[in-house]
């Protein structure tokens, strides 16, 4: 070991030090020197020594720590090298939530103008008031990270997770050279730095080249990565930090979390930009493009400038971020729900690429919607490899005239499903056939129908169609329908995927043995499900009709059918004219009912449910009497003092009113309780009469009301 660096100068008085004490001093000095060189290399981009010299000093420190393990410390540069494999990640509770910021989807200049206008409105600024100052930053396409330092030493790194809890990934974050393990002495006693872990494009390409080489050598378990972000996220979540250390990750800081114990009692900054510069002096990388701008004009200029640079940046971004610069104004603006009012992410237009249509398939969704999907030659667009793209519906496919063999433009924006936005017609092959939407469900062969006012074809198979099976069970078992307590989405998924149930009557044929064989299903839970199924056999005619999931038949319409016909058979056998005599039932709803009950498999399912013991009270058709609120539409919002939402709704419907979920010019009244939100605001804007609970009760008694 070369110790010349630490030998006493001729003027020093020799001291008797033990080998451990001498090694401790040497390790301390080496760590200090290596931290300085690393800061110059990673943060300042101005190396002070050749790589070979850095490596020599690094190896000296390794030798000391290997010889004296007690001298190894958490802030040592050697800790960036992979360590032990962890059995699992532990959960970290963020002391200051890692909140997401709102996304401005208007990718034009007007998106920046709208944000500035909102800020000025919130601050009560007039048109002739001074411009608001902002910090404009890049929106990195990486993984949000929180770095916790205590007394200047990195003690924990955690992912964003759900904003309140994240994963402890400290062992992997230590491998990132740009992240300081030790900070200067003038930092707060507790400091949480928030930022983004990412992978540069050149590092990503090099990584994939190494992976391809491993694959060519027949090394099992190796693969290439789809995009830099996924590669970075995968590296951060490695249980073995040796693997993480082999993947070239980088970091940018952009904010703070928890702070405590400032050396001089107060922070050395009052603006966000000064905060970032302080982080830079402490050793954290800050994107060079970050700048201060004023007003909407400054935001627009920054957005345009970065758009021009986007493709030449060494890393991926998917937009820019605007933040109010003055921290006091940030505090004044505060938060809405889980997002700060003082910040926004301004996206760029969707990225597009060319590829070829290999086939056009038709997929059936959980609600029976038929969607044409273009099967594509794989293309890398929007950060992922795309092989499928939606054509939305028959009209869109016809309008764009997409055909098999066409060269098409594929767009993918953020996490939105990829879509075909256009055809390169000059490349079309001779004889390419026009796409025709099938009128038969490709899953169950039931007729597929399209309402006059809709763009989508839908399978009429309903309870019979395999693609709609899970949705049919969920709808039937919900609280407002037949209600089977405990029969939720996860359990239905298990039962259907295991082939235990395939149609509604199968629910009432379930036994204890079949249930307890499911994952995480204890005998007691299985018994509770069976009891709930038995209890659900006693239902009402409106609930049963609604539970069948007939298209366009909601709760209110189901009640009208039950009231009008009195029994299910009369409804099943009703003609179009007879259905049209039901209150609030038009041609579309009437035809939907006829189509549903005309199918033999639906009649069979109803018969089997009856045979399984599902029953309800029936009687003669109700006499049609004029109800006080017939023809009126009422919207409920907020919490009433004594009436529950369900009770108020039932009382209104009993009086003949239709209870709607949204406010429009056709709304007769809005009943508002405490914590009423946007519905109340819209009612006041449209001039719709607003009632409180007392007003509602008076209305139900027949008293006249003009609103309050």
Beta bridge partners of 293: 134
Write down the pLDDT at residue 10. 46
Give, as one character, the DSSP assignment of residue 168: B
- So what's the pLDDT on residue 331? 93
For residue 254, the model assigns a pLDDT of 96
Residues 227 and 281 in one domain: yes
Pair 209, 357 in one domain: no
Task: Look at residue 90 and tell me if it is in a domain.
Answer: no
- CATH assignment of the domain containing 410: 2.40.50.140
The closest of 644, 360, 605, 294 to 468, measured between CA atoms, is 605
Give the tokens for residue 297.
């004009």
CA 473, CA 41: separation in Å to the nearest integer? 61
410, β-bridge pairs? 353, 420
State the distance between the two ends of the chain, measured CA to CA, in whole angstroms.
Answer: 88
Using the 3D structure, point to which of 547, 577, 611 is the last residue of a domain: 611
Among the residue ranges 52-56, 61-65, 160-164, 171-175, the one predicted with the least confidence is: 52-56
Indicate the pLDDT class of residue 110, thresholds 50, 70 and 90. very high
409 band by pLDDT with thresholds 50, 70 and 90 = confident
Both 66 and 148 in one domain: the answer is no
Confidence label for 561 from pLDDT (cuts 50, 70 and 90): very high
More confident residue, 163 or 340: 340
444, 392 contact by CB (below 8 A): no
The Cβ of residue 35 has, within 10 Å, a number of other Cβ atoms equal to 18
Q: Could you give the angle at which helices 469-477 and 489-497 cross, rounded to 10 degrees? A: 140
Q: 415 and 482 share a domain?
A: no
- Asked if the model's pLDDT at residue 427 lies above 80, the reply is yes
Residue 234: both structure tokens together: 């995968």
Mean pLDDT of 349-360: 83
Instruction: Classify residue 165 by burial, with Cβ atoms within 10 Å: 0-12, 13-18, 19+.
Output: middle
At 8 the pLDDT is 45
| Whole-structure pTM value | 0.47
Mean pLDDT of 679-699: 90
Range of the domain at 561: 466-611
Of 313, 347, 381, the residue at which a domain comes to its end is 347
Residue 115, domain member (yes or no): no
What is the percent of the chain with per-residue pLDDT over 90, rounded to a whole number? 50
Claim to verify: residue 510 and residue 372 sit in the same structural domain: no
Widest CA span of the chain, in angstroms? 115
* Average pLDDT in the chain: 87
The stretch 182-197 carries a mean pLDDT of 93
Q: How far apart are CA 555 and CA 479, in angstroms?
A: 12
Beta-bridge partner residues of 144: 196
pLDDT at 580 over 80: yes
233 vs 361, more confident = 361
Euclidean distance between CA atoms 507 and 495, whole angstroms? 9
CA dist 439 and 450 (Å) reads 9
Classify burial at 2, counting beta carbons within 10 Å of its beta carbon; exposed 0-12, middle 13-18, buried 19 or more: exposed
Report the alpha-carbon distance of residue 371 to residue 201 in Å, rounded: 36
> Which helix (DSSP H) or strand (DSSP E) does residue 139 occupy?
strand 133-140
Residue 152 has pLDDT above 90, yes or no: yes
**What are the φ/ψ torsions at residue 256 (nearest 5 degrees)?**
-130, 155
Establish whether 139 is a catalytic residue. yes
The verdict on 364 and 335 lying in the same domain is no
Q: What is the CATH number of the domain that holds 263?
A: 3.30.470.30
Phi, psi of 370 (to 5 degrees): -95, 125
Q: Are 394 and 457 in contact (CB under 8 A)?
A: yes
| Cβ atoms of residues 648 and 638 within 8 Å | no
**Alpha-carbon gap, residue 319 to 307, rounded angstroms:** 8
Residue with tokens 């499928």: 388
DSSP-derived 3-state class of residue 458: strand
pLDDT of 61 over the 60 cut: yes
Q: Are 23 and 72 in contact (CB under 8 A)?
A: no
Beta bridge partners of 672: 637
pLDDT band at 85 (very low <50, low <70, confident <90, very high): very low
Contact 231, 211 (CB under 8 A): no
Q: Give tens-digit pLDDT for 203-228.
A: 988 988 888 788 777 787 777 776 78
Average pLDDT over residues 280-299: 96
Identify any residues that bridge with 149 across adjacent strands, giving them in sequence order.
Answer: 154, 191
At residue 319, what are phi and psi to the nearest 5 degrees? 160, -165
The tens digit of pLDDT for each residue in 375-398 reads 999 988 866 789 999 998 888 888
607, 505: one domain: yes
The tens digit of pLDDT for each residue in 615-657 reads 999 988 866 666 788 778 899 999 999 998 888 988 888 887 8
Indicate whether 403 belongs to any domain.
Answer: yes
pLDDT at 414 (0 to 100): 53
Distance CA(326)–CA(462), nearest Å, equals 57
Query: Considering the domain boundaries, does residue 314 fall inside one?
Result: yes
Same domain assignment for residues 224 and 337: yes
Q: What is the pLDDT of residue 81?
A: 47
**Residue 117: how many CB atoms within 10 A of its CB?**
13
CA dist 344 and 360 (Å) reads 39
- Reduced to 3 states (helix: H, G, I; strand: E, B; else coil), residue 353 is strand
> In this predicted structure, which of 230-234, 312-316, 665-669 has the lowest mean pLDDT?
230-234
Q: Catalytic residue, from 32, 139, 280, 509: name it.
A: 139
Residue that finishes a domain, picked among 301, 320, 347: 347
Q: What is the CATH number of the domain that holds 658?
A: 3.40.50.10190
pLDDT at residue 707 tops 70: no
Look at residue 264 and tell me if it is in a domain: yes
In the predicted structure, residue 82 carries a pLDDT above the cut 80: no
pLDDT at 299: 97
Residue 433 falls inside a structural domain:
no
Answer yes or no: do 315 and 185 share one domain: yes
DSSP string of 430-452, one letter each residue = TTPPPP---SB-TTT--BEE--T
Single out the residue of 55, 61, 60, 82 nearest to residue 73, CA to CA. Answer: 61
CA gap 649, 703 in Å, rounded: 18
Domain match, 479 and 573 both? yes
Under a CB-based contact definition with an 8 Å cutoff, are residues 304 and 136 in contact? no
> Token pair of 157, please?
């790194």
- Residue length of the chain: 708
With a cut of 50, say whether residue 708 has pLDDT above it.
Answer: no
Token representation of residue 321: 């971020």
Residue 604 lies in a domain: yes
CB 619 within 8 A of CB 566: yes
Amino acid 360: pLDDT: 95
Share of the chain above pLDDT 70, in %: 91
Residue 42 per-residue DSSP state: I
Q: Is residue 668, in this structure, part of any structural domain at all?
A: yes
Residue 367: how many CB atoms within 10 A of its CB?
A: 16
Question: Residues 279, 151: one domain?
Answer: yes
Contact in structure between 279 and 137 (CB atoms under 8 Å): no
For residue 504, give the nearest of 607, 592, 599, 616 by alpha carbon. Answer: 607
Q: Is the pLDDT of residue 45 over 70?
A: no
* Residue with the larger pLDDT of the pair 9 and 392: 392
Same domain flag for 377 and 340: no
Domains held by the chain: number: 5
């Amino acid at each position: 070991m070369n110790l010349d660096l630490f030998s006493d100068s001729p003027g020093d008085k020799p001291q008797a030090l033990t080998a451990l004490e001498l090694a401790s001093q040497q390790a301390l000095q080496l760590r200090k020197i290596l931290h300085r060189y690393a800061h110059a290399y990673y943060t300042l981009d101005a190396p002070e020594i050749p790589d070979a010299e850095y490596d020599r000093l690094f190896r000296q420190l390794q030798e000391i720590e290997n010889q004296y393990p007690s001298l190894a410390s958490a802030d040592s540069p050697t800790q960036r090298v992979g360590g032990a494999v962890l059995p699992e990640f532990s959960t970290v509770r963020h002391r200051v939530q890692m909140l997401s910021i709102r996304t401005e989807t208007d990718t034009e200049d007007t998106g920046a103008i709208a944000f500035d206008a909102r800020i000025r409105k919130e601050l009560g600024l007039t048109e002739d008031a001074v411009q608001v100052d902002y910090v404009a930053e890049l929106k990195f396409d990486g993984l949000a990270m929180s770095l916790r330092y205590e007394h200047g030493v990195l003690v924990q790194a955690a992912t964003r997770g759900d904003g309140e809890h994240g994963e402890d990934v400290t062992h992997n974050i230590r491998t990132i050279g740009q992240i300081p393990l030790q900070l200067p002495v003038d930092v707060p006693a507790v400091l949480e730095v928030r930022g983004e872990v990412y992978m540069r494009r050149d590092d990503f390409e090099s990584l994939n080249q190494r992976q391809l080489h491993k694959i060519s050598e027949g090394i099992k378990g190796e693969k290439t990565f789809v995009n830099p972000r996924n590669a970075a996220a995968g590296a951060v979540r490695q249980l073995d930090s040796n693997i993480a250390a082999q993947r070239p990750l980088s970091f940018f800081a952009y904010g703070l979390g928890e702070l405590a114990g400032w050396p001089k009692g107060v922070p050395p900054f009052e603006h966000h930009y000064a905060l970032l510069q302080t982080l830079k002096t402490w050793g954290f990388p800050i994107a060079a493009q970050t700048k201060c701008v004023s007003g909407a004009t400054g935001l627009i200029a920054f957005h345009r400038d970065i758009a021009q640079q986007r493709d030449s940046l060494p890393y991926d971004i998917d937009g820019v971020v605007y933040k109010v610069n003055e921290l006091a104004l940030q505090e004044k603006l505060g938060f809405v729900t889980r997002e700060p009012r003082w910040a926004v992410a301004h996206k760029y237009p969707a990225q597009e690429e060319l590829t070829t249509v290999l086939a056009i398939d038709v997929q059936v969704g959980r609600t029976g919607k038929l969607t044409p999907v273009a099967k594509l030659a794989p293309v890398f667009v929007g950060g992922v490899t795309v092989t499928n793209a939606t054509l939305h519906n028959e009209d869109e496919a016809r309008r764009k005239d997409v055909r098999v063999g066409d060269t098409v433009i594929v767009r993918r924006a953020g996490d939105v499903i990829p879509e075909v936005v256009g055809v390169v017609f000059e490349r079309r092959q001779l004889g390419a056939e026009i796409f025709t939407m099938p009128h038969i469900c490709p899953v169950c062969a039931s007729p597929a129908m399209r309402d006059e006012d809709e763009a989508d074809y839908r399978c009429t198979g309903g309870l019979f169609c395999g693609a709609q099976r899970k949705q049919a069970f969920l709808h039937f078992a919900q609280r407002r329908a037949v209600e089977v307590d405990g029969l939720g989405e996860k359990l239905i998924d298990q039962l259907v995927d295991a082939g235990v149930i395939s149609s509604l009557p199968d629910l009432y044929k379930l036994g204890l043995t079949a249930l307890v064989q499911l994952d995480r299903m204890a005998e007691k839970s299985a018994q509770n499900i069976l009891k709930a199924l038995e209890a659900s056999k006693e239902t009402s005619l409106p609930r049963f009709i609604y539970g069948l999931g007939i298209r366009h038949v909601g709760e209110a319409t189901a009640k009208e059918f039950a009231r009008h016909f009195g029994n299910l058979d009369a409804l099943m056998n009703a003609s179009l004219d007879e259905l049209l005599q039901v209150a609030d039932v038009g041609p579309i709803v009437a035809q939907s009912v006829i189509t549903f009950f005309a199918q033999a498999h639906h009649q069979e399912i109803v018969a089997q449910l009856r045979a399984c013991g599902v029953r309800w009270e029936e009687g003669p058709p109700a006499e049609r009497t004029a109800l006080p609120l017939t023809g009126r539409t009422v919207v409920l919002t907020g919490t009433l003092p004594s009436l529950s939402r369900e009770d108020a709704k039932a009382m209104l419907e009993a009086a003949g009113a239709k209870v709607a979920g949204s406010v429009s010019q056709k709304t007769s009244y809005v009943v508002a309780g405490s914590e009423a939100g946007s519905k109340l605001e819209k009612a006041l804007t449209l001039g719709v009469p607003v009632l409180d609970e007392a007003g509602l009760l008076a209305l139900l008694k027949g008293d006249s009301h003009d609103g309050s």
